[in-house]
Structure formats: C-alpha cells, structure tokens
Chains A and B, each alone.
Chain A
Amino acid sequence: MTTEVVDMITVVVDGFEVSVPKGTLVIRAAEKLGIQIPRFCDHPLLDPVGACRQCLVDIEINGRAFPKPQASCTIPVEPGMIVKTQLTSPVAEKAQRGVMELLLINHPLDCPVCDKGGECPLQNQAMSNGQGETRFEGVKRTFQKPINISSQVLLDRERCVLCARCTRFSEQIASDPFITLNERGALQQVGIYENKPFESYFSGNTVQICPVGALTGAAYRFRARPFDLVSTPSACEHCASGCDMRTDVRRGKTLRRLAGDDSTVNEEWNCDKGRWAFKYVTSVERLTTPMVRNSSGELVAASWPEALAAAAKGLKASKAAVLVGGRATYEDAYGYSKFARVALGTNDIDFRSRLSSNEEREFLAARVVGSTTTYLDIDRADHVLLVGFEPEEESPIVFLRLNKQVRKRALKVTAIATKLSIGVEKLKGEFVKVAPGAEAAAITSQSLNAKSVILVGERAAESAGVLSAVAALADSSSAKIAWIPRRAGERGALEAGAIGNLLPGGRPVTDASARVDIAAVWGTDSLPSAEGKSTQEIYAATNAGEIGALVVGGVDPLDGENSQSALAALEKAFVVSLEIASSAVTQHADVVLPVAAVTEKSGSFLNWEGRPRSFDAAVQDSLNRSDLRILSMIAEEMGTSINLGTVSAAIKEIASLGKWDGARASMSKVSAPAVPTVSGDQFILTSWRRLLDLGTLQQGEENLAGTARATVAVISPKRAGALGVVDGDKLKISTSLGSVTLSALVEDIHDDALWAPRNSRGSQLLVNLGVAHGAVVSVVKA
C-alpha cells in the first residue's frame, strides 16, 4: 500500500493557525479548530452548493480582503488565507444574522406541531446566531400542507429553507433523481415529477439530513420529542451490509431508527428497510411463554422448567439436527454450533434456509470463511464483477459504495445476470446477458486483474458451476472475492461454524487437529468427525426416518426449494422451535421456546466483510432471553453443559478459539450442466428478492410497503412479440405445482428467460410455483 502524499495548507481562522489538506473547505478547516460556523446546506458527503448562505465569513488572502462576506462552505482553503468567523468579525456576524432573518421570513412558527422541534438545526441556530425579534410585518408565504411525496415521506413546503440537501442526496448519492427544486424566487419549492413517484430505496436519508422539518417520515410523525427517546447505538439486522444505526425507544417501543455514522461502512446513510422496518417486533403477536404439545396434540402454555425438560427429553430420544436461519446473531449462531456438536453430538447443522448447494458449502469453506475483502477494496478496485448479486436489492449500502466510485472515478462495473436491473443501469454497468443457468461460461470469459473485485451473491449457488467458475477466475486473475449474502447473520453463522463442514473459526470438521483445537476449548473428549448434512439433506433424512428431532431457530421453511418436504419433515420430527412469534415452524413444533428479538438483546452481526457490528439491547427491561441462553439451558437439562449463559461468555470463548492457521478446505470443481432449451410458451424462470417485499421482518409497516416496486413479469421484446404481449398485459406463469398471474413488462432480458420478483405481493414464487431460478415454466397470456 502506498501512502498518498497530501499537500497541507496552513490558514488562520479567528487568529488560530490550522493545517489542512489542500482542497479542504473553509468551513471544515474551522471545524477542525472547534469553531462552528452555522450552516444548513453544507453536508460533508454532498457536493458544496452554497444555497443557504448561512455560513458567511470574512476572508482575506495575502492581505487582500474579499469585499463582502463569503460562503465558507464553497471556498477551499488557500495559502495565506485569514478567515474571520462570526466570533471575531462583526461584519460576518451581522451578515449571518441577516441571512437568518431572511430565512425566517417565510418559515412558519409552527415548531409545536413540527416533528423536528427539539432537534432542529434551524431552531438551534436561530437561537445561537439569530435575533429574537423579527422586523417582518407582512404575511408569510403558505402552501397546502403536508404533501405525500411517497407513502413514507411527507413534505411541508413552507418549512423548507431551500438548502437542496435532499435533492443533492437523491442525485449524487442514490442516483434516484425523483425530487427536484421547482419554480423560482419566493415560490421555489421541492417537488416531485408528476408521473414518477419518489420511489427510492434511500428516501429516508432525505428525512434525516433535512435541516428543518420540511421532510418528515410518516411512521414517526407526531410520535415523540427527542427528550422522550432513549437512544441506543445498534446494528441493522436486515441485510449483510452492516449499517451502523441508532435505535430510539420510548417506553419499550422502538419509534424510529436512524443511520449511524461509520465512514468505513455506511457513511451516514442507510436504506429505507433498515430505517423503517422495525415494527415486526411489536406488530406481530409475540410468543410470551414456552409451549409444549400435550398428549392430545395441542400446544399448551408451560412453565420454563417443564418446557426445557420436554425439549431435553425429546432431543435425547433420537438422532437430532439443527437448523438455524441466517438471521441469528454471531453469538447465537455460535451457541447453535456448539450445541449441535456438544449436546447433540452431530455436525448436522446448516444456517442456509434458502436455495443452496453443496458446491456453495465447499466454496464457503474454501474461499469465504475468514476472508478479508472490505468496502475499501471496492473503493480501490479498477473493475467490479457482480455474479448472482443485485446490489441495490440485496445489499443497498454496497450499491451506494459502488455508485460513489462510479460517480467519482467511473469505476467499471460488470454484471453477469439474466436481466438488466435498475441498479446496474444506475451504475452504468456493463450488462453481460446470460440465460439462467449459463452464468458460468460468461464468468470464465471475463478478464480481471489483482485490483479487481468479484462480488458474489447468495444466488450464485442457484446455478451449478458458477461458484467453481468464480473460484477459477479468482485464481487465474488474483482478483479478490467477496461473498455478499442477503441476510445479516449468514457470515457470522459461517464463521461460527453453523454449517456441516466447518467448526468455529473456519476449521474443517474433517481435519483432526482442528477438532482437537475446538475440543480442548470446549472441554469435550471428541467431536463428531463426519461432515454434516445440509438443510435439504436434513429434511430428506428426517422424512426417511434417519433423524428424529430438530432444533429450529429463526427459519421459514417456505424460503427454500421443496417446501413440501420441509413441512413434512417438521411434521414428522420432534421439533424444538426457538422463535419470537408463531410461524410455520411453531405450528409443527413439539416444544416452542420464546426468544428475544434483536432490539431486546445484545450481540453482534458479522457483515459481509466479516466486520463485527455489535449492539446493545435497545429495549432495556425485556424479560425475553436470547437463543444462546436458552440453548445453554436445554444443554444443561440434557446433562451436557455448553456453558454459554451470556453473550459476553460467548464473545470470550470465541476470542479464546482464535483464528485457524491450518490448511483450508479445498473445493471440488463442479461443471455447469447444459442449459435447458425452451420453445413456444416455455421460459426459464429467474428471480431475485426485492429489497421491499413480503419479508418477515417487514411485517406491519404499511407505509414502507407503499414504496415497493411494482410486481411485474419481465420478458424480452422478441418473446413478447411472439406471444403478442405488450407492457401491462397479464401473463399466467405456471409449473406443475401452481401458477401466478403478473403484469408483463418488456425489458432487456435474455430471450429464454422470464424474470419475476421472488417474494413480492402476488408473486411468491417458492410458495406458488415451487421454483425460483433455472426451472422451465410455461407462460400464457391471461
């Protein structure tokens, strides 16, 4: 790594010298000295615009003074510059007071009804840099209020000070220019396009950066004041991007979540799902007491000792396996991993409750576990290849990072996909169009180098041979691989060994010295040595009678392929379910144990980089216990203690395990099967999950669901012509299991392929069709 040589420039601000890198803005140089110049439009992550004029200061360069005060947010420092802010220059002070008075002329005095009241930069700076009395005697300009610019963002135009933060964010950061400044003069206002709603996955950020109460969120409207809220730094549980967040709780209920400031990860931004999808904790009917299935087959409430005894008895009675969803925290996943090995004596554990393959499992063990590709590698890459990964939908902060580099230095992005997505279009990416299942060949023909990064999504596992091709390409080009799953807990579960072929820390289970390592720390004589089964194999073995009991935590059986087999297995086996609310699993469970939701416990997630994102309990006085604690209690009851009573005990134990320095598991090459040929009304189905869809963690948030993208079936112009279909016509897509009917959208997609959202309103492919990718479906105009 080369250290960049930075030219430093020394300037004087209010009589104090400060050295800052060349190109630094005056307002930032003053900040470095702790001198705060009032401002509204200035934001360190947005291009300067000088719209509000609040930051006026007196500037003199080499003895020559500017004739009038200048906006310090637009002027970079220069050698010999002497800056006088409002603290030392009466001229600057008067200018700022004047600007404030002008800004307040049309600003309504409705602070009591405004959500921003109490945390409003305009309120604060009017107090610190304004004057108490107004000289304006006319009538204030008013607008009709408020207007919904989307179902979750409301605009009060009369409060707007025209700082253009929201419009600049939309254009520069999110590349969703659906909001702009209209009109001129006193009537200038923020507006949306008549025909296009403000449909952005990042619109919540505009609410957070609005320096007045002009943009407010529908979910938080009139709900609280800042002094009511107890704020806890937290981590986002929605995806593997790993955003730093702040959770604001009033009386045990989460009222809002804000993006935290972590320049290495989310840079003060987050997506709308992370910001607004938090009601699932309170909107669903939570499980409050343990339940045990009685002799007549009904689930009845039971005491903890009774339920734990029943669970222990059932798990000891037959061979058991563990299914843990991708949403468990790192510590909880570690608890499941240890529980499977120590208490159940099996390696049959899998965190992948989705479409997955054994090729993927080998890829994860050989390439992903312990890998150190980070956001910084994206920042420095010369070429980013997206494989089975749709950043805007599946990991929005990765999208923002890519977009930043695309905008800044025209980073080359190539997407190997079946369909050109909106996100890739915004990234000005090269779209390599392939048929579903034919991705591997396209990967092999890419030329990368050591500065390139391959971003592999979890959907890469859905086409055989893709991950082998990725590994081969990385080997031949020395490009870096980053595996970016959708769910927040998957990387942590992988590192914790919640998968059949790995022990914690990436130790292969088949490696004797790795087993000795772990057995020594766990204080057991030996660990099972055979590789465990995958999710699908566990369900199949249960149906075949080989496995008699299942421990299931945070799994939706309808998320994977072959959900009938999953449901049959849950029906057949003795199931211990650890859940926050009743689900398809608890309906079949024999023992149901209520657990804490993310806001009620501490812990951490590992984001896709493997970076720990730890958080404390936001709701302090919850009586719910974490999965880890409950597993510990079951193990105790079974007579094989796992000694993980608290999160800190798990953290300590994980740290004492250390990193694996032995040989990595190897990966056997899988060659891609032939792509099915289709004709007539046949299509190969392809899909991905949208960011905003019918996900379990988005329950109860109607305003958020209102901005989800329309549910459509995408086909190519050529096939549309053959079928006689135009945009908006209904298409009936069917398999032997069932059918869905969707509106058609003719777009840039492979001729053989039909794309539909995987889990959106009206299009739950895995439930309705039983398939989601690579399968042949028949399509007729309905």
Chain B
Amino acid sequence: MSEQLEPLKKSEISVNDIAYTQMETGESVGLLGHLKGFWIPFSKMFKKTLTVEYPEVKAPTAERFHGRHQLNRHPDGLEKCIGCELCAWACPADAIYVEGANNTPENQMSPGERYGKVYQINYLRCVFCGLCIEACPTRALTMTNEYELADESRAKLIFEKEDLLAPLRQGMLMPPHPMYPDMDDSNYYKGDVKQSHPSQDVK
C-alpha cells in the first residue's frame, strides 16, 4: 500500500539539466532594408488622416445608433409614457424601473388614465439592445444618438424621468395640463393633436 502512495519520481528528467540554446537568427536586413521600413510611415504623413480629435471633434454616429433613451411627448406637450412597464418587462438586463399612477383632472401628465410616475434607467446595466423600444406600445421610449454616458459615480448613472424626457418643442406646453379640448386618448394616438390649444395653458 505505502509504495503506491509515494509520489511518482521521474528520474530521467531533471529541471537542472535543461540547457539553454541559442535562437537561430536570420540574416541582417542591411541599410536598404531599414530605409524601406522607414519609408512606409513617411509616405503616410502626406495622406488624409482618419483619426478624430475626440473630444474636441465629434464624429456623427450612424443614424440608427443605440444611444441614450428619450421619453417623448405628444405635440401638445403631454407625456407619451403611460407607465405600463412593458419596457421593464422586455429588458434583459433589468435596467428599467417604472411605477405607474393615476392621471387626475388636476394632474394630467399623459392622455388617458395612466402615466409613468417614476421612470428610471440604470445605465450601468443597460446593454443598449433596444428591446424596450420595441416593447413600448405608445412610442414613448426611443433612443437618441447620444453616447457620452460616462460619469464619476454609480448613482449619477441611474437616469430619472427628468433626465430622459424630451425637451419641449414649438407648440408644446409643460404638463400637467388638460387634454386637448374635445379629444380623448385615442385621438392622441391617431395623431389628431398637432399642437397645444390655448385653453390647455392653465398656468
């Protein structure tokens, strides 16, 4: 028994016996060879450079580049997000957190009954796959081409609703405000609302 438990000894090979041998080197390239080598970078000095001087210069991305998300608005300024959480459901990285809430006459944030009260995207988790965009039933969530998403703390990379909402454009009013007169949520989805109505400016 005891012999079998002895470590195997390979007496034929010992590390001390390994000899270092000289590598075979090729012939010397000679002066001409050196000049030939230097010619290549020299010749490139007169060609147009492809390098971009980032961050002083920013090249445009591809048109459909997956960048930071944006929460869009209807043409009168009401939010398109209804807080349905389908984006959060679709997200393979669990990067989206949504809480829905009731629209009330005093606090109408989106057309219809429901709006997204809390909307967070965690860019430490997001893999920019765009499945959330596909899932969104109201086209509230789209992606911009913005790619500069580095920051110095983890907390700053959780984007809140204010960070994601699209800016107010011409004809939009900052919600909460009532829906367009004589229109309901289905009119909004059909695109019947083109801009805000003076009566919506309740502030």
Contact = CB atoms under 8 A, between A and B. Distances in A.
A680 interface: no
A113 B112 contact: yes
Given A112-B137, A222-B101, A223-B100, A228 B85 contact: yes
B141 to A, nearest CB: 12
B102 A222 contact: yes
A113 B114 contact: yes
Contacts of A111: 84
Interface in A224-252: 224-225, 227-228
Nearest to B84: A112
A472 B51 CA distance: 101
Contact of A225 (B89, B101, B112, B114): B89
B133 interface: no
A111 B85 CA distance: 11
A481 B26 CA distance: 107
Overall SS of chain A's interface? loop
Nearest to B135: A112
Interface string A90-126: 0000000000000000000001110001100000000
Contact of A223 (B84, B88, B99): B99
A226 to B, nearest CB: 10
B160 to A, nearest CB: 16
Interface in A195-238: 221-225, 227-228
B82 interface: yes
B84 A117 contact: yes
Contacts of B89: 118, 225, 227
A112 B86 contact: yes
Interface in B95-126: 99-102, 112-114
Contact of B82 (A113, A145, A224, A227): A113
B84 A146 contact: no
- Sort chain B's interface into a size bin: 10 to 19
A221 B102 CA distance: 8
Contacts of A112: 82, 84, 86, 137-138
Contacts of A113: 82, 84, 112-114
B176 interface: no
A224 B88 CA distance: 11
A766 B196 CA distance: 58
Contacts of A225: 85, 88-89
B75 interface: no
Interface string A121-154: 0000000000000000000000001100000000
A121 B101 CA distance: 23
Most buried by B among A111, A113, A221: A113
B114 to A, nearest CB: 5
A111 B137 CA distance: 10
Interface in A275-294: none
B83 interface: yes
Contacts of A223: 99-100
Contacts of B82: 112-113
B84 A224 contact: no
A154 to B, nearest CB: 10
A112 B116 CA distance: 12
Contacts of B101: 222
A223 B101 CA distance: 6
A220 to B, nearest CB: 11
A145 B85 CA distance: 22
Contacts of B99: 223-224
A112 B88 CA distance: 12
A69 to B, nearest CB: 35
Contacts of A227: 89
A221 B114 CA distance: 9
A433 B5 CA distance: 95
A538 B114 CA distance: 55
Nearest to B112: A113
Interface string B63-105: 0000000000000000000111110110000000001111000
Nearest to A113: B114
A222 to B, nearest CB: 4
Nearest to B100: A222
Nearest to A228: B85
24 contacts: A111-B84, A112-B82, A112-B84, A112-B137, A112-B138, A113-B82, A113-B113, A113-B114, A145-B113, A146-B113, A221-B102, A222-B83, A222-B101, A222-B102, A222-B113, A222-B114, A223-B99, A223-B100, A224-B100, A225-B85, A225-B88, A227-B89, A228-B85, A228-B88
Given A113-B112, A117-B84, A222-B102, 20 more contacts: A111-B84, A112-B82, A112-B86, A112-B137, A113-B82, A113-B84, A113-B114, A118-B89, A145-B113, A146-B113, A222-B100, A222-B101, A222-B113, A222-B114, A223-B99, A223-B100, A224-B100, A225-B85, A225-B88, A228-B85
Interface of A: 111-113, 117-118, 145-146, 221-225, 227-228
